[in-house]
Amino acid sequence: MLFPTIDFAIFFGIVFVLNWLLAPFPRYWKLFIIVASYVFYGWWDWRFVFLLAASTTTTILGGILIHRARSERARRGWLTATVLVELGLLGWFKYYGFLSQSVDNALRSLGMHGGFPLLNVTLPVGISFFTFMGLSYVIDVFRHDLEPAKPIDVAVFVCFFPHLVAGPIVRGSELIPQIERAHRRNPRHIDFPRAAYLIMAGLFKKVVLSSYVSSAIVDPVFAAPRQHSALEVLFAIWGYAVQIYCDFSGYTDIAIGCAMLLGFRFPENFNAPYTARTLQDFWRRWHMTLSFWLRDYLYIPLGGNQGGDASLYRNLMITMVLGGLWHGAAWTFVAWGALHGVGQSIGHYRRRRRKRAGRPQLAEGRLAVAWQRFATFQYVCLGWVFFRATSFSNAFTMLGRLFDGWTTPTTLVTFPVILTIAVGIGTQYVPDQFAVKVQQAFARWGVLLQGAALAGILLVITTLGPPGVAPFIYFRF
């Protein structure tokens, strides 16, 4: 079920009303939210609700068995078993085809035949997100960072529909206490202005900005780069940077806003990532819940930056390559992760050299800051080429056209395309205080005026947006 649809509007309207009517009755409220979340997830394909149920059951049992184990060895054993089951489900549905095809290609290149059976396994929506949430829960229980919750509370935590299919990746310590106190929520305490702002901003980013730049230049250029000029390729690359930001941050804005209307707080997931001055800074701003997940459950356990330079670079590369593979079962995603790993390693090396020389880790001054932001954005865009490309051939053709395509006529770089890209990037430089002032002004309006304003914004969005709504990019991850 897509957020910007009539189906979801009707669904959420029903859930919103029953959510608050059942709030004083915790057990009935939790059962209702579980049922509603399964309806939401099963709207695309009802068969995958069994996968969600299996992942949830594994998470619940894993937490209980780890907590009840009487020895450290038994605790580690149960943790290992739970992680293997969770990753086994993820691996089968997401990586079996990639692995079997890679092995088959390798054998054929050696003149051999066979390998794994080539099966067409359908990728369930959002499997990476609820798998990572389940893993964080059992690992936190193992680390004694979290007490095991009631099974019904864990079930709500895993399947709660606002975050279910594309995040943010909420941890048990962030959401389960809210679920346990759900009966204490008060609808009068909803921050309605902020929720409305997030939902409208998310819809505008997804339906207007992302959809337009995708159809106007990104899709046609990436589909046939040899037919387009260097300038069109350059703007398509920048356009994809805007598309994926507006698409994904738009989804999480709507998710956070919907959760807020139901009385729950989710962590922020984006913080103006294209204003970053380094790749390290970028990953502190882009998909923050994944970045912090990889840091806390992969990078730090590997040793983080506690060893020498070689260990740090190794840990960065492993983390970023696996982070790339998390996004998709293709070598292009591995290359994307490796690019970010190499870039961050170079950044660490340069900052350490400056520190040892007694200089600031980053040069200051307007020109220096502007250059850092420009260079970081261009490197991020280089990575986006491999992220978006259908193959290495497609990616290298795109990059090659930046050098040999300057004599080809340019027709797709129009004023609306330039304006959309400028808005998508430029709005990230708007001070946070601007959004706060808008919300404060909206809060002072009466109910009728607020309703009229929201109706007007929706009219503008539907007018500017294309017919129909494409699925969110991160649904496939």
The CA distance from 466 to 21, in Å, is 36
The CA distance from 174 to 264, in Å, is 10
Q: Chain centroid to CA 220: how far?
A: 25
Strands (E), 2-155: none
Question: CB within 8 A of 210, min separation 6: which ones?
Answer: 242, 243, 244, 246, 247, 250
Q: Chain centroid to CA 104: how far?
A: 31
The CA distance from 272 to 434, in Å, is 14
Residue 96 burial class via C-beta count within 10 angstroms: exposed 0-12, middle 13-18, buried 19 and up: middle
The CA distance from 109 to 362, in Å, is 47
The CA distance from 114 to 103, in Å, is 9
Residue 470 backbone dihedrals phi, psi, to 5 degrees: -75, 150
The active-site residue out of 163, 228, 287, 327 is 327
DSSP per position, 99-165 = HHHHHHHHHHHTT----S----PPPPTTHHHHHHHHHHHHHHHHTTSSPPPPHHHHHHHHH-HHHHT
- The tokens for 252 are 């999480």
Q: Chain centroid to CA 16: how far?
A: 25
**Is residue 183 among the annotated active site residues?**
no
Active-site residue list: 327
